[in-house]
Amino acid sequence: MSEKTFAELGLSPAVLEAVRTVGYEIPTPIQAQAIPALLEGHHLLGVAQTGTGKTAAFAMPLLSRIDADDLSPQILVLTPTRELAIQVAEAFTTYASGFKQLHVLPIYGGADFAPQLKALQRGAQVIVGTPGRLLDHLRRGRLKLDNIKALVLDEADEMLRMGFIDDVESILAATPDSCQRALFSATMPPAIARVANTYLSDATQVKIESETRTVERISQYVLPTFGDRKLDALTRILEVEPIDAAIIFVRTKAETTMLSEKLAARGHSVAPLNGDLNQRQREQTVEDLKRGKKDIIVATDVAARGLDVSRVSHVINYDVPYDSEAYIHRVGRTGRAGRSGKAILLVTPRERSWLKTLERATNSPMESYELPTPAALQKLRQEQFESQLLGFTEDGKVAKAMGLLDDIAERNDIDMAMLAGALACWMESAQPGTLPLETPSALPVPSANAPKGKGGPGGKRGNFRKGGPGGKPGGYRGNKPGGKPGGKRDGGFKPAGKR
Ligand code: AMP
């Protein structure tokens, strides 16, 4: 991670305001390198993949240089897919939240021309689009590039792979010579290198690389998941893993708090750790983890730097790291003091290419993490319910409670099993999810093939292997011997008054 702050990189006040709002703590490595170069007006050649923070690396400095009073297109971003165009346009809108009037317009194929045309006529300073549709508007004279100050080619290798390179070159040729240019690509095939040589001479080059380091004693797993199912996946991991203590890594300060709250609501003993906490609060949080007052910390990279707590058995990368250096720091929070550790990485289809990078950087393969089947999960939940219930048979109040229930049973002429069932239903209505009555549904898993509109050169991405060492990934937590009643897992029954 970079040591410089966003303010020290020289971004404009309006953009810095947006950085504060979005809650980024510190620039990612690609941002630390690219932002100053783009602010100085250089062309930029960035070898970086999704997840490095590359969108902000070009959006923030280019927005810092924009003339917000002029409504003509000033920044043009080319993306290979409609999905990426929307994503990049959303990112621009986020980073432009500090401007009074800044319009970002996504333009892509497969959508109606009319609304795009209207929006173009209204005026937008930032246009993000796919090459074919942009060229269409350009040829019909609806898109004017005379005032374009900066052009970005995002995921250039993907545009090449999808056959857009000629369209890209036509658009490049239509932009003013004075226009600043940036090209981002995960790989540098010859055709892209040629485009770079022709249109980005003397470009500043930024590359995210890091030396290989072995991560000893840490078994690494990867779980492919959809972005909107990450919380469900995490909840199940926490349910089945034999966790002593865990650190969950996310990207933003806001996310540390949001995720902590969600996990706390599911019965976990969890605290956020982020740069908004003062030194004393941070120390207290780490101390709580050490002493077992908390079992999970949801942290950003910055906040968890150097954290050394030997009972951390698991590191869960809820969000992918910005680079392999950050990944190595993160997973190094487990496997401390000679113990073994487990690191689990959640990846969405777009982030799959991280796998190879991380495997290379750590010099060890990642095994595919498999969540338990619904039936196995249901069995586990029933066992845990049973164990927790049995734990209460030793409760000091059990004799009195039995007397009360006996009395009720006798007066109403119903048997104790019926009363126990009614009591369980009462418990469920007070704390939904307590009773494991329904088998959970299976979580949808992305296929191992390249996602639609994505996929690396040569097509095959993903590289997911089946089955980890030890056969049963997950190593179900099962019943903790002597499991305390009111334990911490999702749905753990806590007696009234002890919640
Ligand atoms: P990208 O590589 O541009 O697709 O960005 C990946 C993710 O990183 C996005 O969700 C961004 O919101 C997030 N991100 C970008 N820069 C930072 C930063 N400096 N700190 C935290 N998160 C960031």
Cβ(28) to ligand 1 under 6 A? yes
Q: Is the pTM of this model over 0.85?
A: no
Same domain, 21 and 47: yes
What is the residue with the minimal CA distance to atom 16 of ligand 1? Answer: 53
| Residue 448 domain-assigned (yes or no) | no
Environment class of 429 (CB within 10 Å of its CB; exposed 0-12, middle 13-18, buried 19+): exposed
Same domain, 282 and 327: yes
118 CA to centre of ligand 1 in angstroms: 31
> How far, in Å, are 47, 79, 92, 123, 130 from residue 86 at the CA level?
22, 9, 10, 18, 10
Estimate to the nearest angstrom the gap between the alpha carbon of 299 and the chain centroid: 12
| Residue 244 domain-assigned (yes or no) | yes
Same domain, 91 and 144: yes
* pLDDT for residue 213: 59
Question: What count of other Cβ atoms lies within 10 Å of the Cβ of residue 230?
Answer: 18
| Among 362, 390, 414, residue at a domain's last position | 362
194 CA to centre of ligand 1 in angstroms: 29
* pLDDT for residue 314: 96
4, 5, 24: residue to mutate for ligand 1 pocket, most atoms within 8 A of CB = 24
| Residue 435 domain-assigned (yes or no) | no
Nearest to residue 380, comparing CAs of 486, 231, 237? 237
CA-CA distance, 370 to 277, in Å (whole number)?
35
| Among 314, 329, 362, residue at a domain's last position | 362
Half-sphere exposure of 277 (CA within 13 A, CB side): 22
Same domain, 38 and 182: yes
Burial call 358-381: b when 16+ CB within 10 Å, e when fewer: bbebbebebbbbebbeeeebbbbb
Estimate to the nearest angstrom the gap between the alpha carbon of 166 and the chain centroid: 34
| Residue 235 domain-assigned (yes or no) | yes
Residue 425 lies in domain: 381-430
Cβ(451) to ligand 1 under 6 A? no
What is the residue with the minimal CA distance to atom 6 of ligand 1? Answer: 51
Nearest to residue 42, comparing CAs of 59, 68, 61? 61
20, 33, 47, 55: residue to mutate for ligand 1 pocket, most atoms within 8 A of CB = 55
Same domain, 196 and 248: no
Q: What angle do CA 256, 300, 154 make, to 5 degrees?
A: 105
| Residue 498 domain-assigned (yes or no) | no
Nearest to residue 317, comparing CAs of 327, 306, 303, 302? 327
Same domain, 294 and 260: yes
Same domain, 63 and 108: yes
Are 485 and 392 within 8 A, CB to CB? yes
Same domain, 318 and 241: yes
3-state SS class at 342:
strand
Same domain, 232 and 139: no
What is the residue with the minimal CA distance to atom 8 of ligand 1? Answer: 53
Whose tokens are 């709250």? That residue is 261
Cβ(27) to ligand 1 under 6 A? yes
Same domain, 24 and 172: yes
* pLDDT for residue 17: 96
| Residue 296 domain-assigned (yes or no) | yes
CA dihedral 54, 59, 62, 63 (to 10 degrees): -160
Question: Which atom in ligand 1 lies closest to the alpha carbon of residue 28?
Answer: 19
Estimate to the nearest angstrom the gap between the alpha carbon of 497 and the chain centroid: 37
Q: Return the amino acid letter for 47.
A: V
Same domain, 224 and 351: yes
Are 2 and 26 within 8 A, CB to CB? yes
CA-CA distance, 234 to 232, in Å (whole number)?
5
Same domain, 190 and 44: yes
Q: Which two tokens stand for residue 447?
A: 């296929």
Cβ(65) to ligand 1 under 6 A? no
Question: What count of other Cβ atoms lies within 10 Å of the Cβ of residue 42?
Answer: 17
CA-CA distance, 472 to 211, in Å (whole number)?
32
* pLDDT for residue 472: 34
Per-residue pLDDT of the chain (499 residues; tens, 9 = 90+): 557 899 999 999 999 999 999 999 889 889 999 999 999 999 999 988 777 889 999 999 999 999 999 999 999 999 998 888 998 999 999 999 999 989 999 999 988 989 999 999 999 999 999 999 999 999 999 999 999 999 999 999 989 888 999 999 999 999 999 999 999 998 888 999 999 999 998 999 998 765 455 566 789 999 999 999 999 999 999 999 999 999 999 999 999 999 999 999 988 999 999 988 888 898 899 999 999 999 999 999 877 877 888 899 999 999 999 888 889 889 988 887 667 899 999 999 988 888 888 888 888 888 999 999 999 999 999 999 999 999 999 999 999 999 999 999 999 999 999 999 999 999 999 888 889 998 999 998 887 654 443 333 333 333 333 333 333 333 334 333 333 333 333 333 333 333 2
* pLDDT for residue 363: 83
Q: Which two tokens stand for residue 146?
A: 């005379």
| Residue 343 domain-assigned (yes or no) | yes
Q: What is the 8-class DSSP label of residue 390?
A: H
| Residue 185 domain-assigned (yes or no) | yes
Are 337 and 191 within 8 A, CB to CB? no
Cβ(353) to ligand 1 under 6 A? no
Lay out the sheet containing 126-129: strands in order across: 104-107, 126-129, 75-78, 150-153, 180-185, 44-47, 204-207
Are 10 and 40 within 8 A, CB to CB? no
What is the residue with the minimal CA distance to atom 15 of ligand 1? Answer: 53
> How far, in Å, are 158, 166, 447 from residue 50 at the CA level?
12, 24, 19
* pLDDT for residue 470: 31
Are 2 and 28 within 8 A, CB to CB? yes
Estimate to the nearest angstrom the gap between the alpha carbon of 251 and the chain centroid: 7
| CATH number for the domain harbouring residue 128 | 3.40.50.300
Cβ(53) to ligand 1 under 6 A? yes
Whose tokens are 């409609």? That residue is 82
What is the residue with the minimal CA distance to atom 5 of ligand 1? Answer: 53
Q: How many domains does the chain have?
A: 3
